[in-house]
Amino acid sequence: MSNPHGNGDAFIVTYHLHLEPGIDVDQFARNICLEQTVELSDDLIVEDSIRDRVVGKILSIQSRSRHIYELKIAYQWQVAGHELPQLLNVLFGNISLKHGIKWVDFEGQSPVLPGPKFGLEGLRKAVQAWNRPLVCTALKPMGSSPNVLAEMAYHLALGGLDIIKDDHGLANQPFAPFEERVRQVQAAVLKANRETGGNTLYFPNFVPQLDDFSEQLALCRQLGIRGLLVSPFLVGLDMIRALRAKGEFILMAHPALSGGYFGHPHHGIEPGLLLGKWFRLMGADASIYPNVGGRFIFDLDTCQAINRGCRESLSHILPAFPVPAGGMSLQQIPQMRRLYGDDMIILIGSGLFREDPNLLQAARKFRLAVENPL
Amino acid sequence: MSNPHGNGDAFIVTYHLHLEPGIDVDQFARNICLEQTVELSDDLIVEDSIRDRVVGKILSIQSRSRHIYELKIAYQWQVAGHELPQLLNVLFGNISLKHGIKWVDFEGQSPVLPGPKFGLEGLRKAVQAWNRPLVCTALKPMGSSPNVLAEMAYHLALGGLDIIKDDHGLANQPFAPFEERVRQVQAAVLKANRETGGNTLYFPNFVPQLDDFSEQLALCRQLGIRGLLVSPFLVGLDMIRALRAKGEFILMAHPALSGGYFGHPHHGIEPGLLLGKWFRLMGADASIYPNVGGRFIFDLDTCQAINRGCRESLSHILPAFPVPAGGMSLQQIPQMRRLYGDDMIILIGSGLFREDPNLLQAARKFRLAVENPL
């Protein structure tokens, strides 16, 4: 990737701008370069070297349609200091508070964006499943005791699910405190695996207050937990990077609270970028998103863009699993496979409970629905 | 506050719903109660006690205007387990990914929402300033050396500013690494205070990666830093709670990256709630927001709502300082004082640099503009 600084150490961000009539696109673009770095207008920058090295450089501005432009800006990595919180700040910090700016793409390499540790192939290996979608469900409902959840997990694992995750609302509540829940559920899943010779994995929901981060992580390590469910917008986007840096756990990202960025057609962050490429770059091995036709708002194009962001070739970055979810049923599986291909994790939560009150049977049906070639 | 659980341990969340014609508001509201807790439809909940204790209870639904309703839901605190990430999840996690839901208010008491430690009066005492707005500027531009920033801070402190904060983009970059910058700037401000007998405070921008949290905090403690600038959406909303729990530092919140939630008129989070009441409840002693008439998008009503959220009476929670900012100039001060009253911190960054290249003089003019009664 050529870059205007001539030192090979830049990242490139792409926005779609939706401008009111009469707004000068060149000035608007230049103001973004200033706003996201020096927070000064051009004439107040005293040191030329700051204008050259710190302020972003406009690489291109292309008209896409009436009032809509694609803008690419290059920044030297040093403005983000190779730290994730400040990188987010440069990419969308202050301009999130403006109108008509949608962050749609990112290109750049840094230790803070290492991509998945395990990735699509690593996760397939962990559950010993090839040439089919993986099948996953969520333990629920909130309010159930650890004992009830463990019993549920035992039957679901006997039925052959690849991954059993906590509902992302199971945190550290009194009815199922983190430690007790994770101990009991993990033991139940390991017991089922011993009985079946299967490889079901349990991913606890990891949503600690900062004070409990190390202790909860140590517990997971001690129990032989292989993967975690993480909601970056609940725990802070840097937590997924911090977990990835440890390299111990398969990371499944959940989009809770991210939806604020998707509500407006011309402002915010493109879901395909945020839930696809960006979560993958930060280190997610799998990224859950609300699939078309469920309880949420994404259309098919958006879902396909997330799939691409997870799986497309991206230099040395491993591909990740897209995880369509949010109100799916077993009946939708053939269509999902035709549309998305088999490199996905199908997450069916309440739809599985509705399928059959006998969870072992429900899980078997789910597993069978992905075993057969289309 | 009455609550439907009869145990005094509930919190209440208020949304404005904007519904498409034909949508049943009662069902829509009930679905929110389920979505944010059990993630099951009613008929799949097996245990009655979960329906009673875990699923939210609709307190009221009131029509506000055509297609717009105000909905109040009560949840027992145990669904959030008194932890901030899970509380955020219950309030706006999954429903952020829907349409037509704006989170507009919150009522409830918990150790995770303690409010400011110092508050408006504590911060006034720290800078020994009563009966006038406080005056604050930001060290910039990014790319300056610690030496340049310290020199700048020295003159600004001599000029009598109450608070000198880092620009929120000064992180840990190579041109001004956190430790070196904070050491030099703090020393410069203390030197100026010794010379003037003044009480200028320096608030470094605290935007660590998680790994550096404790070390950067220890440095601030060691240097006698009294306050920190924190961007909750960059570092994670739980970090401001974690800092508040320590009770050592005055906390000034910055809205970077929060703007995604404000872009849509009928979906997201009301800025007056998020940047006013909510940041205050989490522990911010002062909350920066983009003022009307500057470079950003808020109108006067929104700014006044943030002011109210910071300052209005709220049980045992101390009031906080609203901090209008974002492209202000000295000329706007009399109008801001008339509109907002004097219980605010006026943050003028680049406008101060434009006022007078001699920063000592510029700071003196700024201070004078708030010394005189209107």
Q: What pLDDT digit, counting tens, does each position of B270-281 carry?
A: 999 999 999 999
Distance CA B85, CA B91 (A): 10
Q: Is residue B113 part of a domain?
A: no
Residues 221-250 of chain B whose Cβ lies under 8 A from any Cβ of chain A: 231, 234-239, 241-242, 245
Nearest CA-CA partner of B139 in B199, B203, B93: B203
Q: Is residue B4 part of a domain?
A: no
**For residues B144 and A47, is the Cβ–Cβ distance under 8 A?**
yes
A235:B79 CB<8 A: no
Angle at B324 between CA B320 and CA B325, to 5 degrees: 135
Q: Which residue of A has its CA nearest to B264?
A: A264
Q: Is the dihedral of CA B115, B116, B122, B127 positive or negative?
A: negative
Chain B touched by A327 (CB under 8 Å): no
Nearest CA-CA partner of A309 in A290, A324, A287: A287
Same structural domain for residues A297 and A365? yes
Chain B touched by A265 (CB under 8 Å): no
* Of the partner residues A50, A96, A174, the one whose CB lies closest to the CB of residue B259: A96
Per-residue pLDDT tens for B84-126? 999 999 999 999 999 999 999 999 999 999 999 999 999 999 9
Rg (C-alpha) for chain B, rounded Å, is 22
pLDDT on residue A139: 98
* Of the partner residues B78, B95, B209, the one whose CB lies closest to the CB of residue A238: B209
Scan for tokens 């939560």, then name that residue.
A349
Q: Is residue A2 part of a domain?
A: no
Q: Is residue B268 part of a domain?
A: yes
Boundary (domain end) residue, out of A72, A107, A142:
A107
Q: How many domains does chain A have?
A: 2
pLDDT on residue A238: 95
Boundary (domain end) residue, out of A75, A107, A139:
A107
Distance CA B254, CA B205 (A): 10
Q: Is residue B114 part of a domain?
A: no
Per-residue pLDDT tens for A75-105? 999 999 989 999 999 999 999 999 999 999 9
- Chain A residues touching B291 at Cβ < 8 A: none
CA of B143 to nearest chain A CA: how many angstroms apart? 6
pLDDT on residue A337: 97
What's the distance, Cα to Cα, between the start and end of chain B in Å? 40
CB proximity list for B175: less than 8 A, separation 6 or greater: A54, A78, B142, B143, B144, B145
Per-residue pLDDT tens for A199-230? 999 999 999 999 999 999 999 999 999 999 99
Length of chain A: 374
Q: Which residues of chain A have pLDDT under 70?
A: 1-8
pLDDT class for B297, splitting at 50, 70, 90?
confident
What percent of chain B shows pLDDT beyond 90? 93
Same structural domain for residues A97 and A126? no
CATH no. for residue B314?
Answer: 3.20.20.110
pLDDT on residue A8: 57
pLDDT on residue B7: 43
Nearest CA-CA partner of B216 in B170, B177, B178, B166: B178
Boundary (domain end) residue, out of B107, B138, B170:
B107
Q: Is residue A40 part of a domain?
A: yes
CB proximity list for A119: less than 8 A, separation 6 or greater: A285, A318, A319, A320
A95:B138 CB<8 A: no
> For strand B57-65 and strand B286-290, is the pairing parallel, antiparallel, or unpaired?
unpaired
Chain A touched by B138 (CB under 8 Å): yes
Tokens of B169: 């983009």
Scan for tokens 């403006």, then name that residue.
A98
CB proximity list for B56: less than 8 A, separation 6 or greater: B32, B33, B36, B37, B73, B74, B75, B79, B90
Same structural domain for residues B91 and B24? yes
Q: Residue B193: what residue type? A: N
pLDDT on residue A46: 86
pLDDT on residue B8: 57
CA of A45 to nearest chain B CA: how many angstroms apart? 8
Same structural domain for residues A94 and A124? no
CA distances from B40 to A142, A355, B26, B77 (A): 10, 13, 17, 20
Q: Is residue A29 part of a domain?
A: yes
CA of A197 to nearest chain B CA: how many angstroms apart? 31
Choose from A43-47, A291-295, B146-150, B324-328 the range with maximum mean pLDDT: B146-150
Sheet holding A163-166, edge to edge: A201-203, A163-166, A134-139, A345-347
Q: How many helices (H) and strands (E) does chain A have?
A: 15, 13
Same structural domain for residues A80 and A134? no
Same structural domain for residues A143 and A48? no
The pLDDT mean for chain B works out to 95
Q: Residue B342: what residue type? A: D
pLDDT on residue B3: 41
Same structural domain for residues B58 and B184? no
Beta bridge pairs of residue A26? none
Residues 1-30 of chain A whose Cβ lies under 8 A from any Cβ of chain B: none
Q: Please state whether the peptide bond connecting residue B114 to the residue before it is cis, i.e. omega within 30 degrees of 0.
A: no
pLDDT on residue B296: 82
CATH no. for residue A73?
Answer: 3.30.70.150
A93:B231 CB<8 A: yes
ipTM of the complex: 0.96
Beta bridge pairs of residue A139? A166
pLDDT on residue A6: 43
Residues 331-370 of chain B whose Cβ lies under 8 A from any Cβ of chain A: 349-350, 353-354
Question: What is the H or E stretch that residue A299 is in?
Answer: none
pLDDT class for B294, splitting at 50, 70, 90?
confident
Same structural domain for residues A28 and A168? no
CB proximity list for B272: less than 8 A, separation 6 or greater: B302, B304, B305, B306, B308, B309
Q: Is residue B18 part of a domain?
A: yes
Distance CA A217, CA A219 (A): 5
* Of the partner residues B38, B86, B258, the one whose CB lies closest to the CB of residue A140: B38
A80:B53 CB<8 A: no
CB proximity list for A83: less than 8 A, separation 6 or greater: A112, B171, B172, B207, B208, B209
Interface with chain A: mutation pick from B97, B165, B323, highest number of A CBs within 10 Å: B97
Distance CA B183, CA B197 (A): 21
Distance CA B340, CA A277 (A): 43
A260:B255 CB<8 A: no
Residues 46-85 of chain A whose Cβ lies under 8 A from any Cβ of chain B: 47, 49-50, 53-54, 78-81, 83-85
**For residues B185 and B154, is the Cβ–Cβ distance under 8 A?**
no
Q: What's the average model confidence in pLDDT over B17-34? A: 96
Tokens of B6: 């009869």
Per-residue pLDDT tens for A161-210? 999 999 999 999 999 999 999 999 999 999 999 999 999 999 999 999 99
**Which residues form the domain of A77?**
10-107
B234:A93 CB<8 A: yes
**For residues B192 and B154, is the Cβ–Cβ distance under 8 A?**
yes
Instruction: Give Cα B258 to chain centroid, integer Å.
Output: 10
Scan for tokens 């597993």, then name that residue.
A367
Same structural domain for residues B102 and B148? no
CB proximity list for A89: less than 8 A, separation 6 or greater: A36, A80, B168, B169, B171, B207, B231, B234, B256, B257
pLDDT on residue A93: 98
Distance CA B144, CA A256 (A): 38
* Of the partner residues B83, B93, B140, the one whose CB lies closest to the CB of residue A38: B140
Same structural domain for residues A262 and A140? yes
- Chain A residues touching B261 at Cβ < 8 A: 260-261
> For strand A68-76 and strand A10-18, is the pairing parallel, antiparallel, or unpaired?
antiparallel
Same structural domain for residues A103 and A153? no
Per-residue pLDDT tens for B61-91? 999 998 999 999 999 999 999 899 999 999 9
Residues 86-115 of chain B whose Cβ lies under 8 A from any Cβ of chain A: 86, 88-90, 92-99, 112
Distance CA B191, CA B150 (A): 11
CA of B304 to nearest chain A CA: how many angstroms apart? 17
CB proximity list for B70: less than 8 A, separation 6 or greater: B14, B15, B16, B17, B60, B61, B62, B64, B104
Question: Which range among A219-223, B42-46, B113-117, B128-132 shows the weakest confidence by mean pLDDT?
Answer: B42-46
Same structural domain for residues B39 and B147? no
